[in-house]
Structure 1
Amino acid sequence: MSTQTHHGQASLFGADTSTRRHPRHVLSYGLGLDSTAVLLRWLTDPSSRDFDLSDLVVITAMTGDEFSATGADVERYVLPELRRHRVRFVQVGRHQLLTTAAGEGITTFSDTTEPDRLFVEGAYALSTEMLTAGTLPQRGGARKCSARAKGAVLDPVIARLTGGQPYQHYVGFELDEMGRAERDAAYNTAARTGRYPLIQWGWTRADCDAFVYNLTGRRWLKSACSYCPFAISSARGVQSTLQRYAADPAAGALALFIEHVAVCINDKQTLRPTGRLYDDVAAAGLTGVLDLFHRRLDDTEHAIYEVRRVAKVRGTGTRPVIARSVRLLDRGSRAEMAAALLGMPGQLHTGNDGIARSIALRRGETPPWAERFYVACPAVVADKARPHFERWFAEVAGDVALF
């Protein structure tokens, strides 16, 4: 029986979940080339798997910001195969910033063996999180954006689907990603066993590309948010992403908008480690992307924000603690807020990013330091400060903190 639940509801699964047996095989389907190769081979070559498709559930956590071509390709080439083989496909995502192990904050968009639509738009896009915080995804470290938008969604849903019973969890790491597979295996439990079919088959990304192309006639592109810093961390990645922007200008404009908001709040927050993605888009002559981006800026309500930062020294040889306070002071059109900025305290300065800021307190070269400035920015960033920020700022800034 097919069931569909849409993002206006917050149940974890379709109404007939209780009548279904717990699957023992779970594929995390990220929509990209590697996991698509795994899924399509399983569907077209029974000898590639050691289980029946009736015991498989395919699950996708929607981030909300995939390139449009990704959704179109999955709907055209993958969903028909899932329907033909009646494979259960669960599409989920968060509808708020934080989720819980009990499933709070998670929406089921679809839970069916007859999928006919991909809910790539999600309910709470990762871009909403980034814009509200006035920040960007991390370029390294723990990849918190992926952990919250995918891991924190998939874990409780898989736990509910499998009912605490032992299951095989399949992930699309290819042969050149042995390190990632080893790290993933560290998360195995008494119930969960991570498995990596591509590595087992000895398949590289090139093998995946050849297999999917021969089967579909389509060069499958990497699944990623349109503003993913990992996708543009190399010259080759930038060129590939710019080509995707040329075909999907709205995706490029979203990336530039997120970067612009982040740079307004912190001029060092650029999508590329070497500078702004905006400059690469402009150099490539992608006028369609630039036009959409500037139109969105003009049409978006702006605000005057007071931005303060403080760096406190924790101890000898350790990195300082950096805290930030963002406070919205006024709202209006872009032109109105540009005019209002002229009346803010401090000295008006326009940086190399073309963004004007009124600097009331300039940061020092070494910690401890404090800074304070005012900027006109799209009114999408929420007020935020650590509980002890005011005390820390006063300790470092001294009398200047009073003005």
Structure 2
Amino acid sequence: MTEPRAAATPGHGSEAGRAVQIRLPDDGPDPVGAPYWILNWGLGVDSTAILVRLFQLLEVLDRKGMTGRERDEALAARLGLPGFRLDRLVVMVALLGSEWPLTGELAQREIVPRLARWRIRLVQVARSGPAKADGVTTLDDSTTPTHLHLEGDYTLFMESVRSGTIPQLGGVRKCSLKHKGEPLDAKVAEIVGGSPFYQIMGFEAGESSRCDRDARADTAQRTGVYPLRAWGWTREVCERFIRRRIGVHWPKSACLFCVFALASEAGRERVLRMLAAAPELAWEPLLMERIAVTLNPTQTLMADGSLHDLMQERGLHRALEMFEARVEAMDWSLVEVRRPMNAQDGDSFRRGGTARDLTVHRTGPRAAMLAALGELAAVGHRDAHRSVPADPRYPRVWLHPRAATFPTLDHLFAVVPAYVATKQAPAFPKLWAAVTAATGYRPPALPGVGRDEQTDLLAGTASANAVPATS
């Protein structure tokens, strides 16, 4: 490649419309050596609007008979992306497996065929497993895509129910970083190699702070670009543009159990409407919440209550009945949870380090697991058990509920649908020893719950880690 030259790019940098210097190839390089243009398509309104705008321009230029270099130069000028080349564009999408069906149907019907028509490369990726070292699954990589692999591979839902947790609200969206950001970054690095690339981000005109944060990730190789900000397109403008061009209202992209969607009144109303219209879709969010709350009462999908209770209040009885019938018929597991919590910097009113050990002791019919739990409750720990109000939806026995000050700990047994898997945090052994020493807690001797042996009560762990199919 010849020495790069500088060019002004509207909308890149900390101020919308400010001209900054980015590296562009000289007019003469071979296209193979030209920079890549990576478009992060999140299936939502903003990034979809960029694609629909590109399709619109391609149709206009096609009617004018423009192809090749002439077409690329016209696209670059009209998109405000100097040096843009269609044959170096890669549309990237990470699939988590729990997208609302309507969004997936629209993307499959309206976007995938247009990508294939213009031979735009679409790369679909997903996580391969729970650890980063498990790698990335390439679901498809094609310039003539025909199918959007919405099912993903190792899904966020499966990760959550296996660990008995929910995605966390507040701070960094770790669920998106892990299931979207990490696989996308890994695949982008594989595609571009050592070549420079521009990453087209779908941040709308009202999201300058997100653009600024993203721009701080720029390197000598990677440059983020933000066309919607440069065009002055807000979310509302994007929605109107898509509706005018392809005749549909494009919904927000979100998982079925998105805690961020459930954080606002408008988001809750939207979710409730969709669950009322398709009650079978309540399975994943209700199952995830049922398991998580049983293991930790604070883990509801909404900060101020459970989705189950909200659906009950709003009369979504059909969805709740379908969920209860399905969950009643499956196997359940008897599990033990130990969760030590330290004080932060010696402050007994602030929680510091926390770790968890989740052990699956037995799996079988729900009635048998509840009977085993009842035996544990009868072994002289009724005071602790009664200290927490009982709810038949969340069968658990507290041997030691957490105190109001730190250090403290949770120690409980519970019965949950048989999705969870035994898992211990690396920091658990050391933290458990420290917190039990500080609090003076000595785990009681229970039948069949010894750490080194098992009796009839908790026999049958061979199948404890089996995860049932989601269908």
The normalised TM-score by structure 1 is 0.89
Match of 2:370 in 1: 338
Residue of 92, 99, 102 corresponding to 1:59: 92
Residue of 199, 202, 206 corresponding to 2:236: 206
Q: Secondary structure at the match of 1:303?
A: strand
1:41 is aligned to 2:56: no
Percent identity of paired positions between Structure 1 and Structure 2: 37
Note closer, same or farther for the CA distance 1:175–1:48 as it changes in structure 2 (3 Å cut): same
Q: Which has the larger radius of gyration?
A: 2
Deviations 1:256-280 (A, max 9, x none): 1101110011000000000101111
Residue of 360, 365, 369 corresponding to 2:404: 365
Cα distance in 1 between the residues matched to 2:120 and 2:276 = 35
Cα distance in 2 between the residues matched to 1:327 and 1:398 = 22
Which region of structure 1 is more displaced relative to structure 2, 153-162 or 19-28?
Answer: 19-28
Cα distance in 2 between the residues matched to 1:402 and 1:340 = 17
Note closer, same or farther for the CA distance 1:22–1:225 as it changes in structure 2 (3 Å cut): farther
1:400 is aligned to 2:439: no
Q: Secondary structure at the match of 2:409?
A: strand
Match of 1:28 in 2: 40
Q: Secondary structure at the match of 2:99?
A: coil
Residue 68 of structure 1 contacts residue 248 of structure 1 at CA under 8 Å; is this kept in 2? no
Residue 393 of structure 1 contacts residue 401 of structure 1 at CA under 8 Å; is this kept in 2? no
Match of 1:270 in 2: 300
Q: Secondary structure at the match of 1:278?
A: helix
Q: Secondary structure at the match of 1:326?
A: strand
Note closer, same or farther for the CA distance 1:64–1:220 as it changes in structure 2 (3 Å cut): same
The number of aligned residues is 382
Cα distance in 1 between the residues matched to 2:321 and 2:164 = 22
Cα distance in 2 between the residues matched to 1:77 and 1:39 = 11
Note closer, same or farther for the CA distance 1:77–1:388 as it changes in structure 2 (3 Å cut): same
- Per-residue deviation at 1:295? 2.6
Note closer, same or farther for the CA distance 1:295–1:164 as it changes in structure 2 (3 Å cut): farther
Residue 407 of structure 2 contacts residue 435 of structure 2 at CA under 8 Å; is this kept in 1? no
Cα distance in 1 between the residues matched to 2:390 and 2:232 = 50
Which region of structure 1 is more displaced relative to structure 2, 380-389 or 170-179?
Answer: 380-389
Match of 1:147 in 2: 177
Match of 1:9 in 2: none
Note closer, same or farther for the CA distance 1:353–1:165 as it changes in structure 2 (3 Å cut): farther
Residue 310 of structure 1 contacts residue 371 of structure 1 at CA under 8 Å; is this kept in 2? yes
Q: Any unmatched runs of 5+ in structure 2?
A: 1-30, 58-74, 446-471
The normalised TM-score by structure 2 is 0.77
Match of 1:391 in 2: 433
1:77 is aligned to 2:110: yes
Structure 1 residue ranges (4+ consecutive) displaced by more than 6 angstroms after TM superposition: 19-22
Match of 2:354 in 1: 322
1:1-400, aligned counterparts within 5 Å? Answer: 24-45=36-57, 46=75, 47-48=78-79, 50=81, 51-100=84-133, 104-317=134-347, 319-345=351-377, 346-347=381-382, 348-349=385-386, 350-351=389-390, 354-385=393-424, 386-400=428-442
- Per-residue deviation at 1:58? 0.2
Cα distance in 2 between the residues matched to 1:337 and 1:249 = 28
Note closer, same or farther for the CA distance 1:186–1:82 as it changes in structure 2 (3 Å cut): same
Q: Any unmatched runs of 5+ in structure 1?
A: 1-18
Cα distance in 1 between the residues matched to 2:187 and 2:279 = 34
